[in-house]
Amino acid sequence: MFDNGYTMSETDKKYGNLEMIKSQSMGKEFPALIFLPDSYNENNNFKVVYLLHGVNKQPISEAGVRTLYNPQLDLYKLVNDFQIILVAPIVGTTFYINSKINPNDKFATFIGEELPEFIDEKYKTLAKRTSRILCGFSMGGYGAVSLLCRYPDTFSLALSRGGALELAYAIKDLEWDDTGVLENILGGFWDNMEEYHLNSCFNLINSLKGRDDIGIVLEIGKEDFLWKTNQRFKMKLDELNIPHVYAEYPVGHQFNKESLFTMLANSQILNKQND
């Protein structure tokens, strides 16, 4: 018997096909919105983009996914233009991590294993790693890159817009004295520095050194407080010889409908070598 971890209103449901997806590892259900192209009922199978939300008030946040999935993001145009299935799970402020502080929170397992298995079983997907793409903003950008590192045999591409790729960025790059919401997931930084290091994309990416069958798209605003973090990560990708596209824009920490289109367009450059 599963408990519902989250609920959605009737208004929210109209923006996509609502699925309540069971997590065996956590004993809960989590909502996801599924967007299908108009050609879905034809004899086609489709690539899948897993869109991971952030924590702030942007459209790609938990609040945004619940209430703002309307034409402002042109999601139906997106899935039709790129002929993809778009899957937007809603899991709260979790950073898509299997938490050491809360051992029952296994969100890396849910997104990396259980969600793709559900989607491949129920929808007409191309059920192979080269047809699964992770995409996210802010916390979701971290999720996209970190899950690619953890599950390179499940996914082939990670698209990150304004990603929090260094979990201790608030201390290391901004000179703040704490790491905010992450303390509820990994514990306080000063007492758990090893956990922050092990779960940082800067550490996780080392496992993909020299692999030419994966790719990463990094997009960042020049006024984004995460700009320094993303610049350093681009240098890390260069050092490890990992295929990537890096793009900067004259904006801050924000996500708009153009962001999804530019990230997917940039991903096509990398995706050609993975097919």
The mean pLDDT of the chain is: 85
| Number of domains, the chain | 1
Identify the weakest region by mean pLDDT among 15-19, 89-93, 123-127.
Answer: 15-19
CATH number assigned to the domain comprising residue 133: 3.40.50.1820
What pTM did the predictor assign?
0.90
* Domain of residue 207, residue span: 3-271
Give rounded-to-5 percent helix, strand, coil for the chain. 40, 20, 40
How many CB atoms neighbour CB 240 within 10 A?
Answer: 15
- State yes or no: pLDDT of 23 exceeds 50: yes
> Residue 111, exposed/middle/buried by CB under 10 A (0-12, 13-18, 19+)?
buried
CB–CB of 100/108 below 8 Å? no
- State yes or no: pLDDT of 116 exceeds 80: yes
Distance of CA 86 to the CA centre of its chain: 12
Parallel, antiparallel or unpaired: strands 84-89 and 28-35:
antiparallel
Distance of CA 198 to the CA centre of its chain: 19
**Contacts of residue 14, Cβ cutoff 8 Å, sequence gap at least 6:** none
- State yes or no: pLDDT of 2 exceeds 50: no
Q: Tell me the percentage of the chain whose pLDDT exceeds 70.
A: 83
Q: What pLDDT is recorded for position 76?
A: 80
